[in-house]
Structure 1
Amino acid sequence: MRRKFILLCLVAVMMGCASQETIDADKIIQNVQVISMAGGEEIQKNQDVFVKGDRIARITGAGQFAPGQEATVIDGSGKYLIPGLSEMHAHIPSGDRSREYIDHVLFLYLANGITTIRGMLGDPLHLDLRRQANRNELLSPRIYTSGPGFGGNSFDNPDQARQQVRDQKEAGYDFLKIFPGLTLKEYNAIAEEANKVGIEFSGHIPSSVGLVRALEAGQTTIDHLDKYVEALVTDTVSAESPGVIYFGMHLTPQAERNKIAEVARLTTDAGTWNVPTQALLEHVLGPETPEELAQRPEFQYMPRETVQQWIESKQSITENESYSETLAKDYLQLRRDIIKALHEADAGLLLGSDAPQIFNVPGFSVHHELRYIVQAGLSPYETLETGTYNAAQYLNDLENSGTIEEGKIADMVLLEANPLDDISNSSSIAGVMYRGNWLSNREIEKRLNTIAEQYN
């Protein structure tokens, strides 16, 4: 009787296996907790995520369907899956740097779960890199890139500025990068021509322009919260920044905080996005010494001479007569208050840290930025939105990215712990999927060790 019962059980199991539908997929992440970012903080528990080519093919309850025999199986048990992150103020090295260094920087972004970058200092080489990334010919996030910057020494008159706008549009750059130093006439010419030919312009706000005019002109993003502190000051005679202190820090004592809500509302009405890059300012102006910052583990992945330059840069800033620890502390808190007010006014915020830049190692600095945005008053979920859903919305790419849903590009990050419990868990990376390609933690560590060995 017992033997008959065992045989019946075996037959039942075999029949169940035979009847289980197989999904045609290249990869499957099994039994994972999905934070889809598709509308609400609810976690989809114990899910199987099937990937075919570069797309998410199916998302089902764990074990409901079987993968094909050739599919790569990724164990997601106890882990969390989020959409790939976007670094919306990235820098890609220019063509005068070695190709090896450029490849290292692009990989550092990818190793940290960043599957999309917006390059803020364009170079003709970056158009080629964008094509290569799209074809999976290099280890790189998807690339959006500006052209070479529009600054005070870029041209001699507004007509030349207009021509440069047309040239960059024709060359295929995704947007224009605005730098300080432009006259109001030059800026207006750039804005008018950009709006005419249909290309975005983003970045800094020249002192001659100011926040209100930039909003009126249709500047798509404002980076670093540039000119927000100045907009809170009634008397702007001293608006030009002294020495090496920048982004209105010296005006902090004069800032009228009761104006913050009004400035945030103007931003919302204009439809302008902000990329705060709070990590840059926290690292440059915060209380940690340059030597302490340089001891962070991620600095082993940067050339020694670069780290030394960063140390000297912070030293020169903190030793400037315009700097004081009290002023820096008040300024950083003012920036946090502006970030929170922008969020509460429903003005778009985008994740960006400005890397590689002073003490911002590519990829790693985004996880610092996430922590700083939470410190400004956003929840971990709202903070993750800045680098996922919001980024896709800004890029007009919600059809393909920004959330984990069937049919979207398979850009995802597998985490060891829940980032909604603690945003620092965003860096607990167990693997990265980019355009359907899988980078395991083991492969990431192997490549990172190779970079570290070269620089140390």
Structure 2
Amino acid sequence: MKKLLLLFVAACASLACAAQDMLVQNVHIIDVESGQILRDQSILVQEGKITAVFPKASPPRNIPTNITKTDAKGAFAHPGLAEMHSHIPPASAEGDFSYTQDILWLYIANGILNVRGMMGHPSHLELKGKVASGEIISPRLFAAGPSLNGGSVQSPEHGAQMVREQKAGGFDHLKLHPGLDMPRFLAIANTAKEEGIIFGGHVSLDVGLANSLQHGYKSVEHMDGYIEALVADKSKLDPQVAGAFSMMALPYADMSKIPELVQMTLDSKAWIAPTLTLFERFFGYIPADQFRLEPDMKYLPGVQIQQWVNQKKLLENQGMLREEIVKPYLEFRQKMLLALHTAGVPILMSSDSPQVFNVPGFSIHNEIKSMHEAGMEPVEILKSGSANIARYFGQDGHYGVIKSGAAADFVLVSGNPLEDLSRLKNIEGLMLRGQWISKEKIQSELKRIEEKNVRR
């Protein structure tokens, strides 16, 4: 596809410009809600909002004559992707956000415009402030607070206190990890409802999926708890026997109960963050030495990649990642996701990054491929990373759609991604809350990050 004709002033030729008014012409818009493509459209952006979407043959009369115009040359526009299970790096001990900014640019470079942090740190509140002020360029951020787990929560009273503190501090979400018993879990859940902060995460064994859903889980991360809920003999769930995420307990799962669990999830109005690619790469049977050679790894420090190699090889050496063990488990995860999705349980695009062999941004494209292989249709996959995000946070129509009145968030790609999802990687430029980021700027940032992490 020809390079976009960008009629910018020279100062903005290769840099991400501050929010500006712009008319994007000759673009095909993907409506993720209807699945339709609106061809030969124009998008008018003013003061960070989409103020008009119209056929190029029927422009409104009130378009400013001096507005910057961009000829998209027939690119396809979608509302952006999301990473709803990110481990956003905290600031360094000295308060430096340089590494965090690199990770945020990796997301942007892959068309990800919304990120939910699920490994909270106090510095994330400062980060959100810097993003809001324009000091740091970033996807829209939602920050969960520090982990609530069996080690961090000392008592029910302490759990309730932590919830109140995180809400008062300005976190958007609570993240629960394993190890909670029922008294501590109930204290967290009840206080979260009182304080008006959403919560979700892993499912503690002593709590179980049913209690997690019935007491208010907004999102279930990794589809955690579903295998455990299918196993009647709870002795098979001993972590020393069942392994990570109870994958070794799969032979004891009663698959006839899947419809019951799906209905329970649907009734509770919970959401699913599947992270298929995490399990395929971290807990899959493809060896660590194969993943370490992938091109995406060049964007992260060598020491981090080596840590990932060591983590996966530990499981390999224990014999836990043999194909005959792992393949049925991965197939179950695809089956479980499709059953939930088909029933109408809403899905959140998520991969878990940065995490073992999940390079931020790039891992979402792996996740998209896996979601499609599981049976999800392309438009539903796109919706899981756009309109669903706004709906999850109770902000329908504010972003995640390309419509008048919504935030000016969209990505231009060459080729129709509904025909081939890999075309989502063919980014020709993007609009981030009214701030245009050119293809040249994206390539420049990727080159900078790559050079920073050259193995010496």
- What TM-score does the superposition give when structure 2 sets the normalisation length? 0.91
Letter in 2 for 1:88: M
State the 1:238 CA deviation.
Answer: 1.8
State the 1:69 CA deviation.
Answer: 5.1
Whether 1:90 and 2:120 are equivalent positions in the alignment is no
2:40 aligns to what SS in structure 1? Answer: strand
Preserved CA contact (<8 Å) 2:175 2:201: yes
State the 1:132 CA deviation.
Answer: 2.1
- CA deviations on 1:1-57 (whole Å, 9 max, x unpaired) are xxxxxxxxxxxxxxxxxxxxxxxx8112210110022x3221000111111121011
- CA deviations on 1:164-187 (whole Å, 9 max, x unpaired) are 111111111111110111122111
Preserved CA contact (<8 Å) 1:110 1:139: no
State the 1:211 CA deviation.
Answer: 0.4
How do 1:106-125 and structure 2 match up within 5 A?
A: 106-125=104-123
Whether 1:75 and 2:56 are equivalent positions in the alignment is no
- CA deviations on 1:271-320 (whole Å, 9 max, x unpaired) are 11110111100111334322221222221110111111111111112222
Preserved CA contact (<8 Å) 1:244 1:317: no
Name 2:50's counterpart in structure 1.
56
Please give the alpha-carbon distance, in whole angstroms, between the structure 2 residues aligned to 1:71 and 1:331.
54
Can you give the 5+ residue segments of structure 2 that lack an aligned partner in the other structure? Answer: 1-19
Can you give the 5+ residue segments of structure 1 that lack an aligned partner in the other structure? Answer: 1-24
Please give the alpha-carbon distance, in whole angstroms, between the structure 2 residues aligned to 1:409 and 1:118.
18
Name 1:14's counterpart in structure 2.
none
Name 2:30's counterpart in structure 1.
35
State the 1:63 CA deviation.
Answer: 4.9
Letter in 1 for 2:412: L
State the 1:135 CA deviation.
Answer: 2.8
Letter in 1 for 2:405: G
Name 1:312's counterpart in structure 2.
310
Name 2:388's counterpart in structure 1.
390
Preserved CA contact (<8 Å) 2:28 2:75: yes
Whether 1:44 and 2:38 are equivalent positions in the alignment is yes
Larger Rg: 1
How do 1:357-368 and structure 2 match up within 5 A?
A: 357-368=355-366
Identical amino acids, percent of aligned pairs: 36
1:408 to 395, 399, 406: 406
Please give the alpha-carbon distance, in whole angstroms, between the structure 2 residues aligned to 1:238 and 1:96.
41
- CA deviations on 1:69-109 (whole Å, 9 max, x unpaired) are 54333222231100022211112112336421111011111
Preserved CA contact (<8 Å) 1:245 1:317: no
- CA deviations on 1:229-288 (whole Å, 9 max, x unpaired) are 111112121213237941221111112222111111110001111101111001113343
Seen in structure 2, the aligned counterparts of structure 1 residues 353 and 162 have a Cα distance that, compared at 3 Å, is same
1:237 aligns to what SS in structure 2? Answer: helix
Whether 1:256 and 2:254 are equivalent positions in the alignment is yes
Please give the alpha-carbon distance, in whole angstroms, between the structure 1 residues aligned to 2:377 and 2:56.
29
State the 1:144 CA deviation.
Answer: 0.7
Please give the alpha-carbon distance, in whole angstroms, between the structure 1 residues aligned to 2:183 and 2:42.
56
How many matched pairs?
431
Preserved CA contact (<8 Å) 1:390 1:402: yes
Seen in structure 2, the aligned counterparts of structure 1 residues 427 and 129 have a Cα distance that, compared at 3 Å, is same
1:181 aligns to what SS in structure 2? Answer: coil
Please give the alpha-carbon distance, in whole angstroms, between the structure 2 residues aligned to 1:160 and 1:226.
25
Preserved CA contact (<8 Å) 2:153 2:184: no
Please give the alpha-carbon distance, in whole angstroms, between the structure 1 residues aligned to 2:48 and 2:243.
45
Please give the alpha-carbon distance, in whole angstroms, between the structure 2 residues aligned to 1:394 and 1:230.
26
Please give the alpha-carbon distance, in whole angstroms, between the structure 1 residues aligned to 2:157 and 2:366.
42
Please give the alpha-carbon distance, in whole angstroms, between the structure 2 residues aligned to 1:293 and 1:70.
50
